[in-house]
Structure 1
Amino acid sequence: MIGADLKAWRKRNNYTQERLRMELDVSRQTIVTWENSSTPLSRMLELALEALEHPAAQQTGGSRLATELRSLERKRATSLR
């Protein structure tokens, strides 16, 4: 999945950037950066999106996925500095 795929997913599932950022507990700028990316996005992000598509899965694992996603993004941001 690249940024254009994320944007298409968001629109297909009726998510605004604000709603998606709140669900994933990331900044709006992170969503913008991901959507503008031409490189593959994290597999953890893909799994989090899958969890958002299935409310029952979100209740049991969505918050854990969001936590893992934040951790991965922090590590990535640190490695880019």
Structure 2
Amino acid sequence: MSYSLDFSEKELLSDLLMSEEQITHSYTSSIMESTCPDLRNALSICLTNTQNCQFEILDLMNQRGWYKIKEADSVDIENIRNKFSILYNELS
């Protein structure tokens, strides 16, 4: 029995995006749990590369209208800045 797997570009990019997100989470967890500086550094490089790849996929999907990205306005940015400033001060 043979199967034909014809995926659209949108389906392939969506799958790639989800895969990159999972890999990003795995690298982040591994970095947080590692005590070896060399391993942490190597994983950090991998994480950055994965994040860059994830952004490229996201950008391609956005260009094609398959993933809408909401631009943050100055009010949103200021609200987030205030929120994290309060959290930072509470933890200090």
TM-score (normalised: structure 2): 0.35
Choose 1 or 2 for highest CA Rg. 2
Q: TM-score if structure 1 supplies the norm length? A: 0.39
